[in-house]
Each structure stands twice: as structure tokens, then as C-alpha cells.
Structure 1
Amino acid sequence: MTSHQNDPDEQHQGEDLAALITRLLDRVPDRTQKDLAAAAGISYPTLNAWMNRTRGTSRVDPERLRALVDAFRRWGVEVTPREVFLAAGRPVPGRSDQEREDRLLRLYRQLPEAKQRDLVRAAEVMLKDAELVARVSRAQWQ
């Protein structure tokens, strides 16, 4: 048995968001894509475009992906944020808490304007790097 067969998160690694959502919806046969869209607060046309692969998912707002996780969990389906983010080709964000975000905002507000711009640019570079790593990681599993 290979290691990815032992790890539930890795068992389906390499599947895209449409395949993941299809697999998860199969676990709740009384639910539809329309039900999922409503439960996650996502418009049905948007979800349907992801499912038909007519709209890319690499720029989907992380909150939408978290909403999918929450909807499935409310229905009793086990899924991790990591699975959903990887399937969407997005970097898996670290946990955030209000205290950490407040501290970052306080520090940002204390910086001179030029340094604020530098910090934003640095954060954008870090995000692009994380997105590239996520794409490469996903491509390795396909």
C-alpha cells in the first residue's frame, strides 16, 4: 500500500474542484448542485461553471472555498479545507485568528506610506509564490 492510500487527504490528490465536488455530492444523494450553491452562498451559475470546467478556479475567493467545506460538513460529509483548496489549485492558507490579524493591521498602520506599499507588494509576491507552489504540487499528482 502506498502512502497516499493511507492518507485520506492524499487519496484523491490531483482531482480538480469539479471532480471533488462530484465525489462529495455522491455522498449525499438527496442534495443537488443547486442545494450546494444555496448552502454555500455561491450563485448556482458560478458553481455550475466550475462543475462544467468553463470557469477557472485558481482565483476563487478563499471564503467561497471555505463555504463549500462548511456546507458539506453541515451535511455530514467529511472534507478538509486542504482538499478543497488543492482541488481548486489554490494555496492552502494558514489558519487565521483575529488577534494575529489585528496585530498585523496595527503594525501596518504604524508604517510610513512607502513602507506600507512595500509590505503590500511583498505580501502579493508571497501569495503568487504560494499559488505557484500549489499549481506545481497539483500538477505532480495529475
Structure 2
Amino acid sequence: MTTGPSTPGDSARAAEDPAPAGEDLAALLTRALDQAPGKTQKDLAAAAGIKYPTLNAWMNRTRGTSRINPDDLRALANILRSWGVETSPRQIFEAAGRPVPGPTDAEREHRLLEIYRQLPTRSQRALVQTAEAMRQAASAA
């Protein structure tokens, strides 16, 4: 577990340290719920907008984590942090065995959407196919 920054100025990096070695998503979520007194799997699922049976299957390791929507992983991190659990999106993604996406930037997303909307239908389809190929290549890396 992270014990805090080892040198001055490392506080931002400490929050992004990877999950403890060998900790998968089930172990991370179990540990996180232990750190959130009074919160249950059902509470976490509801707050994150994830179906309870799905979250329960991840925690019982009866469903794989390779296809979890990145927004669901971000939601888990946000909810856990709002409950006072020390975790980061990086820890959640790494525990799920998923590549850690770069930070979202509303201005870049808005610009990309503007460009997409200005394209003819055929070019929009090509852009979506290219983006899908980029995502698959990133998850294979």
C-alpha cells in the first residue's frame, strides 16, 4: 500500500501509485469497501451506476474485467474517493488489468465533437473506425 510521498513534492505522484502488487480489482474493491464503513457492494453499485450483479461478479471473480467500460472504472474511483477511500483511477484501471487512459479534457472532447459533426457521414464512419482501431491497439499494448 502507498505510505505517502518519499521525497518533498511527490504528493501528486503518491496518489497515482499503482495498486499493491498482486491486487486485482476484486481485492482492491474489497479493501476499499473495508475502508468505507457502512458501505456495501449494493451501495457502491448504485452510486457508480453499475448493476449490482455485475459488480458482485467482478468482486467474486466470476466475470472478467477486460471489457469493463472505462467510465465505470472512473465512476468507481470517484465514488470511493468521495467516501474517503484513498484510491486513484490509475489504481482501479491497473487492478482491472486495463490500460490507464489519459486524462479527459473537456475542451479537447468538445473540439473533437465539433470536427466530427462537420464531417460528411462517410468520413464520420471512417473516423469512428479509426478511433476504435486506436483504442484496440492501446488496450493490446
Alignment equivalent of 1:122, drawn from 87, 108, 130: 130
- Corresponding pairs, count: 129
Question: Which residue pairs with 1:56 in the alignment?
Answer: 64
Conserved 8 A contact 2:19-2:92 = no
The Cα of 1:116 is off from its aligned counterpart by 2.4
The Cα of 1:13 is off from its aligned counterpart by 4.2
Question: Which residue pairs with 1:94 in the alignment?
Answer: 102
Deviations 1:46-105 (A, max 9, x none): 111111111122111222112211211111111111111121222222222332112111
Question: Which residue pairs with 1:74 in the alignment?
Answer: 82
* Secondary structure in structure 2 of the residue aligned to 1:67: helix
Letter in 1 for 2:114: R
Would you tell me which structure has more helix in proportion to its own residues? Answer: 1
Alignment equivalent of 2:43, drawn from 20, 35, 47: 35
TM-score between both structures, scaled by the size of structure 2: 0.78
The answer to which of 72-81 and 31-40 deviates more is: 31-40
Question: Which residue pairs with 1:139 in the alignment?
Answer: none
In 1, the alpha carbon distance for the partners of 2:37 and 2:118 equals 53
- State the identity %: 63
The Cα of 1:14 is off from its aligned counterpart by 4.2
2:24 aligned with 1:19: no
Question: Which residue pairs with 1:10 in the alignment?
Answer: 18
Structure 1, unaligned runs of 5 or more: 1-5, 134-142
Deviations 1:5-60 (A, max 9, x none): x6562351442211110121122243222222222222221111111111122111
In 2, the alpha carbon distance for the partners of 1:129 and 1:30 equals 41
Letter in 2 for 1:55: R
RMSD: 2.2
The Cα of 1:119 is off from its aligned counterpart by 1.7
